């Protein structure tokens, strides 16, 4: 917070976004992709209001975080986004034709967008303004160790096992690995919030401002959840617009591109908040937001999707293709090297962003 609360527009835009999403759901003929002037206008409004709701979510998250303190404020934001993301993926899985690679593509997209795109932008923006920045090395190592373990076990290992089909776990393996993922994430949360909380604390703000009043905190919490709901509700319609647009091109893997666009829209609030924190020279806070969202996604999304998959009898392919597996391993190694000294600079950010550009290229030219 900068001495004042969110502006009035930050309260209005999420409500307008939810209202538009409700109208489009009730009137499918007006929804983007239906064809005609009105759906095209609706598509433009959806994009504008989605961006506005994302910015509003950041403003209200600052109020909530100032009252809760760290790391609880960041944890609330990451868990809120993750829960909504899981609900969107679950609704997609339960609706229409089975897509066995849905969970894999979504989780992989989040890992790549966060660890290369968002982290790279944070490192670059922060270093350009402050030359070098410091982090709590033990805290970042905690994020990376759990993320790497889960990423390899859930996205690389399925292509190497013998009991299931190629790229899949057997039902017994899937249940066991889901238990491992949830247990490991639970252990991480205990370390983050209780045992080693000081390893994840950001640099002091230095403003000496008192925390917001209980009424402001309550309003901020409600508006944060409404803003996140607006982002996800509108992302469905914006994604439909993107999907129709991408249908005009001969893409080798349209599902991967669509999944990446949806992940990008859902991560928009956290991405904006993380970059703003890095620009204010609070890189640890920035990484708590970015890495926390990626870790929560890989640890919670796949177990939930696995439960639904087993419940409805749909297969779920988790093993990554060769090029995706290579990009994931390169990203993990790069993250270890970037944060290994406890200090970052602009070069680290440039390298992460270059890897992100290669990932985007492979979406369209695998």
Domain boundaries, the chain: 9-364
Find the distance separating the first CA and the last CA of the chain, reported in whole Å: 43
* Pure H helices in the chain: 9-26, 37-68, 72-94, 102-112, 119-130, 137-151, 171-190, 214-246, 254-266, 268-279, 283-312, 322-338, 346-364
Which overall architecture, per CATH, does domain 9-364 show?
Answer: Up-down Bundle (1.20)
Verify cis geometry, omega within 30 degrees of 0, for the bond prior to 71.
yes
Give strand pairing partners of 133: 344
Please give the structure tokens belonging to residue 365: 């030219």
Helix (H) or strand (E) holding 133: strand 133-134
Give the C-alpha separation, 356 to 192, whole Å: 28
Handedness of CA 338, 291, 102, 265 (dihedral sign): negative
Comparing CA positions, the residue from 12, 118, 127 lying closest to residue 60 is 12
Give the C-alpha separation, 144 to 150, whole Å: 10
Pairing of strands 343-344, 133-134: antiparallel
pLDDT tens digit at each of 366 positions of the chain? 444 568 888 899 999 999 998 998 888 778 776 667 778 788 888 888 988 888 888 788 878 877 877 677 777 777 777 776 776 666 666 555 566 787 788 889 999 999 999 999 999 999 999 989 988 889 899 999 999 999 999 999 988 877 666 788 888 888 899 999 999 999 999 998 888 888 887 655 444 456 788 888 889 889 988 988 888 888 777 766 766 776 677 777 877 887 788 788 778 888 888 998 899 898 998 999 899 889 988 898 888 888 888 887 777 888 898 999 999 999 999 999 999 888 999 999 999 999 999 999 998 888
Q: Write the burial class of residue 108 (CB in 10 Å: 0-12 exposed, 13-18 middle, 19+ buried).
A: buried
Place of tokens 């290994």: 340
* Pure H helices in 152-213: 171-190
* Number of other CB atoms surrounding residue 95 within 10 Å: 7
> Residue 91: its pLDDT value, please?
61
> Residue 164: its pLDDT value, please?
61
> Residue 67: its pLDDT value, please?
81
């Amino acid at each position: 917070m900068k001495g004042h609360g969110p502006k009035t527009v930050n309260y209005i835009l999420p409500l307008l976004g939810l209202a538009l999403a409700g109208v489009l759901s009730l009137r499918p003929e007006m929804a983007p992709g239906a064809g005609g002037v009105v759906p095209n206008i609706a598509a433009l409004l959806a994009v504008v209001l989605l961006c506005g709701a994302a910015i509003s979510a950041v403003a209200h998250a600052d109020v909530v975080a100032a009252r809760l303190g760290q790391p609880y404020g960041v944890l609330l934001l990451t868990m809120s986004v993750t829960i909504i993301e899981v609900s969107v993926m679950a609704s997609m899985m339960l609706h229409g034709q089975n897509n066995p690679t849905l969970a894999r593509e979504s989780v992989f997209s989040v890992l790549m967008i966060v660890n290369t795109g968002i982290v790279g932008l944070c490192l670059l923006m922060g270093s350009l303004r402050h030359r070098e920045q410091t982090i709590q090395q033990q805290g970042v190592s905690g994020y990376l160790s759990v993320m790497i373990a889960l990423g390899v076990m859930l996205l690389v290992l399925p292509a190497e096992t013998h009991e299931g089909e190629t790229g899949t776990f057997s039902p017994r393996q899937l249940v066991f690995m889901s238990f491992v993922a949830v247990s490991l994430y639970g252990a991480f949360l205990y370390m983050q919030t209780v045992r080693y909380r000081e390893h994840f604390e950001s640099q002091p703000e230095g403003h000496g401002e008192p925390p917001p009043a209980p009424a402001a905190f309550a309003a901020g919490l409600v508006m944060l959840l409404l803003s996140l709901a607006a982002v996800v509700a509108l992302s469905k319609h914006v994604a439909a617009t993107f999907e129709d647009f991408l249908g005009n091109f001969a893409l080798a893997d349209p599902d991967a591109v669509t999944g990446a666009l949806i992940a990008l829209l859902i991560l928009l609030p956290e991405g904006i908040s993380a970059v703003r924190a890095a620009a204010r020279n609070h890189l640890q806070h920035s990484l708590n937001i970015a890495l926390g969202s990626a870790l929560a996604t890989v640890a919670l999304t796949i177990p939930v999707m696995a439960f639904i998959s087993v419940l409805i009898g749909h297969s779920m392919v988790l093993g990554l293709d060769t090029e995706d597996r290579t990009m994931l391993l390169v990203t993990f190694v790069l993250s270890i090297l970037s944060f290994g000294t406890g200090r970052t600079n602009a070069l680290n950010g440039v390298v992460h962003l270059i890897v992100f550009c290669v990932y985007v290229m492979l979406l369209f030219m695998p």
